[in-house]
Amino acid sequence: MTTFVLVHGAWYGSWAWDGVTPLLHEAGVRTVTPTLTLEGDAGLGTHVQEVLAALDDVAARDDVVLVGHSYAGLVVRQAADQRPGLVSHLIMIDGWAGGDGESLFSLAPDAFVTAISRSARTSADGRHVPAPQPERFGVTDPEQARLLAQRLRPQPLRTFTEATRLSGAVNQIPGTAIYCRPVTFPFDQFGKAVGYRTLPLDGPHDAMSTHPKEVAQLLLDVHASQVTGEKAGH
């Protein structure tokens, strides 16, 4: 059976996939949606360990597709690098990605780094980044934005500054970089730089909330094409 391990991005929780998972289930796909810790001094390494726990739980019996949104692009690539035999395909949705030693801050433009750092200084402990307004993620429906704003949580600053540690094993796993249009950051270029096929999705950065049907269908299509390609290669 195929299992999609769906990893949410910064400021979100596993609930980010609530609109997508029922559609995947209807297609006969199992889903696992780990929640990344946002309390304390959690960093990229913390989140990698949480994803590894999810992978170890399902990969022994399932075909695993590992999906990361936005910040989680870094998380899923490092997790897959540590479990290259357990993941059949990596998919990023508007995902940050780079090589060994890269962090989100090293990949992001200076203006983004400055804004995030300044925002963290307004938090009580100086180590968490308050959640941006949902409109920044492309959520324009007022009611949807209001509900989303109630659920977003501060993100540990360390998750943006901690460097990725990669052995190179992840480069042997097929990958696809889905990038949302209109483009906010060069997520297509991040994908190309790590050797992934790139595919557009017409929708905002938080497409899981605003366009769950399109996201689910594209995930299914990407996986189906990967399986077909593998069979053709045998």
Q: What mean pLDDT is predicted for residues 156-171?
A: 97
Q: What is the pLDDT at residue 77? A: 98
Give the model confidence (pLDDT) of 189-213 as tens digits: 999 999 999 999 999 999 999 999 9
Helix (H, G, I), strand (E, B) or coil at 37: coil
Q: Is the pTM of this model over 0.85?
A: yes
Q: What is the pLDDT at residue 56? A: 92
Alpha-carbon gap, residue 187 to 175, rounded angstroms:
13
Say what angle helices 44-58 and 72-82 make with each other, to 10 degrees.
50
Of 89-98, 154-163, 217-226, the range with the lowest mean pLDDT is 217-226
Q: What mean pLDDT is predicted for residues 19-34?
A: 97
How many Cβ atoms are within 10 Å of 25's Cβ, its own excluded?
13
**Residue 234: pLDDT above 60?**
no
Q: Which domains does the chain have, with CATH numbers?
A: 2-103+158-233 (3.40.50.1820)
What is the side-by-side order of every strand in the sheet holding 2-7? 30-32, 2-7, 63-69, 87-93, 175-181, 197-202
Q: What mean pLDDT is predicted for residues 208-233?
A: 86
Q: What is the pLDDT at residue 159? A: 98
**Residue 141: pLDDT above 70?**
yes
